[in-house]
């Protein structure tokens, strides 16, 4: 089967063009070609079609090889550029090679054309592979840099947040010793309770950190999931909190079916609903609405509350590890970071919309179509 060769020929002579084509066909190529004679025609051809190489006469009435080479270079394409001419002098040929042409063939020695084309096509493929490898290397370096930054921040924040309960444990251990020696048994029991509470907080922080670190590490296949059911399961788990804070929850009946890791996606709803419940506790009639809307042909799922809201300055910050705008709320401040990590691993986006203090918050997220969802990493 003949190899298809897409050749853009910059030539004013039909005879010379046919001579080139005969040589190419003799070499086993099925030639898909176009002949141009001007800069505008060449620019159009480069923008409208894909080519394997350019064969260019050295001198044309309204164009030249130098003009054609510059046109190619300005297009940003990396194509073999071979000059075929009966008039080019050696000095001019050398200048053209220095300028970026890949080879030149004298029209009377067309036997050199096929070997030159084969060589230049291989070299062009090598350059393409090198560019792709460099792009991949740069992307890998960027990912590694991001991972290193995350590890550094992760380590610092873990140390910072774990140190507080450790200080509590150490302090009350000393107080416990003194209370026991003094016979203050009731106070000693309170010391023990404070130590136990600090230990529980450390366990909670470590568990959440482990959960955060596991997301995206172990492969697990995705599945079709009814988000209405995910919301119900999340609410069932959070029933105690919802009742304790007297929160009314309204759920839209048209929540979509999504595709992904069922457990992780349920955790997204759990974290967003729990966060909403925490920040609506000061309202007389705390309300959480869970629904969906369309924007720019994309379906958005949201969890909206009528709570204290988020200052626009902190819209990105709240998704970071251990970030809590209100230090009096329960939990170590990992829930929103977990939600973001899960959504991003699924290939989606998550963000918050809020006019500021006292105006409530709407946490929104998107997920790609089923065909676009990658295998979720646990």
User: Could you tell me which residues come within 8 angstroms of residue 201 by beta carbon, excluding any fewer than 6 positions away?
Assistant: 164, 165, 332
Question: Dihedral sign, CA of 218, 220, 226, 232?
Answer: negative
Query: What is residue 375's predicted lDDT score, i.e. its pLDDT?
Result: 42
Strand partners, 226: 257
User: Could you tell me which residues come within 8 angstroms of residue 251 by beta carbon, excluding any fewer than 6 positions away?
Assistant: 228, 231, 232, 289, 290, 291
Token pair of 302 as six digits: 């949201």
Lookup result for tokens 């809307």: 293
Task: Walk me through the domains of the chain, giving residue ranges and CATH numbers.
Answer: 3-131 (3.40.50.2300), 218-378 (3.30.565.10)
Rounded distance between C-alpha atoms, residue 337 and residue 174, angstroms: 36
46, 38 Cβ separation under 8 angstroms: no
pLDDT along the chain (378 residues), means of 10: 88 90 90 93 94 91 90 93 81 85 84 89 92 91 79 68 80 89 89 88 75 64 88 92 91 91 90 88 85 91 91 85 59 77 90 87 86 45
Lookup result for tokens 């899960």: 342
Rounded distance between C-alpha atoms, residue 176 and residue 167, angstroms: 14
Query: What is residue 156's predicted lDDT score, i.e. its pLDDT?
Result: 67
Give the CA diameter of the chain. 113
* Helix residue ranges per DSSP H, the chain: 14-26, 39-48, 65-75, 90-99, 113-182, 185-214, 227-237, 239-244, 262-278, 335-345
Rounded distance between C-alpha atoms, residue 366 and residue 134, angstroms: 31
Rounded distance between C-alpha atoms, residue 365 and residue 215, angstroms: 17
Token pair of 358 as six digits: 């006292």
User: Could you tell me which residues come within 8 angstroms of residue 189 by beta carbon, excluding any fewer than 6 positions away?
Assistant: none
Rounded distance between C-alpha atoms, residue 222 and residue 337, angstroms: 21
Q: What are phi and psi of 57, to 5 degrees?
A: -70, 150
DSSP class of residue 378?
A: -
Token pair of 203 as six digits: 């366990």
Question: What is the total residue count of the chain?
Answer: 378
């Amino acid at each position: 089967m003949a190899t298809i060769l897409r050749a853009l020929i910059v030539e004013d002579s039909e005879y010379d063009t046919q001579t080139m084509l005969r040589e190419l066909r003799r070499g086993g190529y099925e030639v898909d070609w176009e002949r141009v004679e001007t800069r505008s025609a060449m620019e159009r051809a480069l923008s409208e079609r894909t080519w394997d190489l350019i064969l260019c006469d050295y001198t044309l009435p309204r164009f030249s090889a130098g003009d054609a080479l510059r046109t190619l270079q300005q297009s940003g394409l990396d194509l073999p550029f071979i000059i075929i001419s009966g008039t080019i002098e050696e000095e001019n040929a050398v200048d053209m090679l220095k300028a970026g042409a890949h080879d030149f063939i004298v029209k009377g020695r067309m036997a050199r054309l096929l070997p030159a084309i084969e060589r230049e096509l291989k070299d062009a493929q090598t350059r393409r592979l090198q560019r792709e490898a460099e792009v991949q290397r740069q992307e890998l370096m960027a990912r590694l840099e991001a991972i290193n930054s995350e590890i550094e921040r992760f380590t610092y924040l873990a140390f910072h947040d774990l140190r507080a309960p450790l200080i509590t444990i150490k302090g009350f251990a000393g107080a416990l010793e003194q209370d026991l020696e003094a016979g203050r048994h009731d106070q000693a029991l309170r010391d023990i309770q404070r130590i136990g509470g600090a230990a529980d907080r450390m366990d909670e922080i470590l568990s959440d950190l482990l959960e955060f670190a596991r997301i995206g590490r172990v492969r697990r296949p995705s599945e079709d999931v009814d988000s209405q059911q995910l919301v119900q399961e999340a609410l069932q788990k959070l029933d105690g909190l919802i009742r304790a804070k007297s929160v009314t929850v309204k759920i839209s009946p048209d929540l979509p079916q999504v595709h992904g890791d069922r457990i992780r996606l349920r955790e997204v709803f759990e974290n967003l609903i729990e966060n909403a419940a925490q920040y609506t506790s000061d309202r007389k009639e705390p309300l959480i609405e869970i629904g969906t809307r369309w924007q720019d042909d994309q379906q958005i799922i949201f969890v909206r509350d009528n709570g204290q809201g988020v200052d626009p300055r902190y819209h990105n910050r709240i998704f970071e590890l251990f970030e809590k705008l209100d230090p009096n709320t329960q939990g170590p401040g990992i829930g929103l970071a977990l939600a973001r990590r899960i959504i991003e691993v699924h290939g989606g986006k998550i963000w918050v919309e809020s006019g500021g203090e006292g105006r409530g918050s709407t946490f929104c997220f998107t997920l790609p179509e089923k065909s676009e969802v990658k295998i979720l990493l646990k």
